[in-house]
Amino acid sequence: MRKYIVFIVSILAVAVLAPAINSASAQTAAVDSEKEIERYREMINDPLANPGYLNVDRGEILWKTARGANKISLETCDLGEGPGKLEAAFAKLPRHFKDADRVMDLEQRLLWCMEKLQALDTADVKSRKFGSPGKYSDMEDLVAFIANKSNGLKFAVAVAHPKEKEMLAVGEAMFYARHSIMDFSCATCHAVDGTRIRLQALPNLSEPGKTVQQTMGSWPAYRVSQSQSRTMQHRLFDCYRQMRSPPPDYASDGLTALTLYMNTLAEGGVINVPSIKR
């Protein structure tokens, strides 16, 4: 009888301890997987190995190509540092532009320059806002090229103009606003340390510091799982899709507000793009 009691107690102990053991094993596996993924990124995050640099090269050609009814290139476009000047421009976006009297991110500003300066019909550009196999995106190429010109620089987004302050407040409100059938917000996944979806770590983007700096400083990025380079516009678009929310309009003020809010939290973070992501 005593043997049976010992046996039953042993079984119960295993039953009680198994979840904890499995949980610890899962966490160890997740950490090991994350390390291997990071090692893989480091191996190919080089201009000679990173496919995102193909976007950079195509973007440079687009920047210098005369297009539209006015037959001029985007080198006449002012991204905040003066017409045609790219160094440090990405690091200071989104920002208020006096000529448009709007706060714009990079993609909004590029579309504005295409339409106002080049007199280009942007319908085709917008239809290819996100690339796919065999279909290049002008916007993803241009963003990769321009953002790359700020490599090694730190985010220095100014919030001085009244419209910049207003946009920042909107961005913060959007980050915490719950919506749609899942009742999710950005903060649901990105306001707590140590969370993950399966093996994917979820960065805490709700407060200033290293995590948000590294996250924002690594977009645009080449997504290995999609074989495409992606911009922050696409990242936010995909977040809303995963929250089962209606897709936000491309180059909308809402996405610019969110980007401004997170780039402000990333102040001082070093830019290194295009990066490599899963």
Structure tokens at 151: 């490599």
| Residue 239 known to be catalytic | yes
Tokens 């539209």 -> residue: 68
Q: Phi-psi region for residue 62, left (φ > 0), alpha (ψ -120 to 50) or beta? A: alpha
Report phi then psi at 17, rounded to 5.
-80, -25
Alpha helices in 103-184 (DSSP H): 106-116, 123-127, 138-148, 162-176
How far is 80 from 67, CA to CA, in rounded Å? 21
How far is 255 from 171, CA to CA, in rounded Å? 8
How far is 69 from 84, CA to CA, in rounded Å? 19
Residue 210 CA to chain centroid, in angstroms?
Answer: 16
Q: Which of 77, 186, 189, 239 is catalytic?
A: 239
Structure tokens at 188: 């649901």
Structure tokens at 97: 């532009």
Residue 32 CA to chain centroid, in angstroms?
Answer: 24
From residue 60, give the alpha-carbon distance in Å to each of 30, 77, 143: 39, 14, 10
- Give the active site residues: 239
